Amino acid sequence: MRKTMMRKMAMKMMMKMATTKYIKLFESFNQIQITGEEPFIKWACDQLGIKECPKIEFGEDHNFAKERRSMAYFNPDDYRIFVLKGTRTKADWLRSLAHELVHVHQLERGEKLNGETGSPHENEANSKAGELLRDWGKLDASIYEA
């Protein structure tokens, strides 16, 4: 019963973060670019079987996310992921990143992405992101620190 309640809470949180469309690159985004060598990114790409890790950029501006109604998104046109770090915990923004990496994997599988809330693509990304974070949290407990 507790597992079901936690799953419902996780799904509710992930559904709030799910994007309803893919957004073009925004020049106003406060960007900090990192490479695929960051341990979580490399590990997650390996776990998902991603052939080519996308470029990943992080931002600090919560207003940007508020305007876009999205904490993170994957732009398949230029193969980039954008994630709001801001004041979020590391586990929270890593979950957003994992969600978007699942979309990269879906694209590599040749699927036409559907970012609608409740779509099979979004449900898979929500579910797999949760699994990845639970597994990564066992390797790096620091993600839960405030």
Q: Where are the domains of the chain?
A: 31-138
C-alpha span between 94 and 64 (Å, rounded): 18
The pLDDT of residue 68: 79
The model's pLDDT over 4-23, given as tens digits with 9 standing for 90+, comes to: 555 555 444 443 333 222 22
The model's pLDDT over 40-92, given as tens digits with 9 standing for 90+, comes to: 999 999 999 999 999 999 999 888 788 878 999 999 999 999 999 989 999 99
The pLDDT of residue 146: 75
31-138 classified as CATH 3.30.2010: yes
C-alpha span between 55 and 90 (Å, rounded): 19
Q: What percent of the chain lies above the pLDDT cut of 70?
A: 75
How far is the first Cα of the chain from the last one, in angstroms, to the nearest whole number?
28
